[in-house]
Chains A and B, each alone.
Chain A
Amino acid sequence: MAGTAGDATPLETALVALARASVETPALLSPRALEPVRALAGDGALDYALVLGAFHFINRIADLLGVDPDALPPALRRLEPVRRAGVWLASRLVRRMDLRNRPDRTDWDAAVAAVAAAAGAVAPAALEPLRPRPKLVEAIGLALAERDRTTLDRATLARVHRGVEAALPREPGDARGLHARPADPVDAFVFVGTRYPARVGAAMIRRLRAAGFDDLGLLDLATAVADANQWARLHRLLGLPPALFRVA
């Protein structure tokens, strides 16, 4: 980001660089992309990988389902006095929350068993890179459980997973430019939701509703796109087998 502070710490700089790579060139991510953070934060790099994956998920849920901002809408933020009042109010509200860290109490064996049961043929040894942070295994288990409770059929789920992989940006222009979109409403939703989720709008949702998606179907389709995008980044950064989550 052009506005990154000049006095940012080395770790802050490394985190922003990782965020940029995850948005602009996620198809090229590998465990090597996490090394600058690992050199500064040790196994904390695993915690940051989880944050990164979680926000690729959250951003897509917000944009693909048209979730209202909790703070001021962008149009009102352009008015400086209103923006300042909004920041003040938001800070008062957030102060009511308990944001203190909590210990990672995830049981390694139980989390691995849950993932192995849901993922089928994947050997538990594949999860060894995550042993310093069992919570990552729990997070993957939660995503697998969500995948398996969806109302989407397996063929549609596999189509979403293939579509996300195919659309994943390989160069910065892929995440910003103007590109031909697939004609099919599901494929178009997957493509736009992967490359530039902020461009999903009401017209795309109307086309999906016309194709038979109700509210729950839309929730499941958006979740599938968001989870596949989270996984596309996590498995590359953490050196995990793609088939652990992906439906063929």
Chain B
Amino acid sequence: MAFIATVPPRRATGETAAAYRYMARVGGSDLVANVVRVFSLRPASMRRMIRSWELAMWTGDEPRTLRETLAAAVSRLNDCHY
């Protein structure tokens, strides 16, 4: 459980619910990573998180596998589960 309160998708309304729908459009599924959900107290920040993630991992021509390799290396060296 995160150190701060979050609004789960099933209880989200208004702008928060819209931000969750935006995540579904970007990811192509209703899966919401917990690192996105932790921004749910402020929908504008959640949208920023989602768009930044999309720019880094989806946008452009570099192979997804190599982007994931680099991301995994950073996470491993930072000793982070993400």
Contacts and interface: CB of A to CB of B under 8 A. Distances in A.
Chain A partners chain B: yes
Interface of A: 1, 11-12, 15-16, 18-20, 22-24, 41, 44, 47-48, 50-59, 61-63, 65-71, 74, 93-94, 96-104, 106, 133, 135-136, 138-139, 142-143, 145-146, 149, 196-198, 202, 205, 215-216, 218-219, 223
Interface size class of B (residues with CB under 8 A): 35 or more
Contacts of B66: 11-12, 15, 48
B51 A142 contact: yes
B18 interface: no
Interface of B: 1-5, 27-29, 31, 33-35, 38-39, 41-42, 44-45, 48-49, 51-62, 64, 66-67, 69-71, 73-82
Contacts, number: 180
* Shortest beta-carbon contacts, A-B, top 6: A98-B28, A19-B73, A54-B56, A59-B80, A23-B77, A66-B3
Nearest to B82: A62
B30 to A, nearest CB: 8
- By secondary structure, the A interface counts as helix
A55 B60 contact: no
A219 B44 CA distance: 13
19 contacts: A44-B60, A47-B60, A47-B62, A51-B67, A54-B52, A55-B71, A56-B74, A59-B74, A59-B80, A61-B35, A66-B2, A66-B3, A70-B34, A96-B31, A143-B48, A145-B48, A149-B45, A198-B79, A219-B38
Contact of A102 (B2, B44, B58, B82): B58
Nearest to B74: A55
Given A19-B73, A97-B29, A219-B41, A198 B55 contact: no
A177 B39 CA distance: 31
A96 B62 CA distance: 21
A216 B39 CA distance: 9
B56 A74 contact: no
Contact of A56 (B5, B61, B78): B78
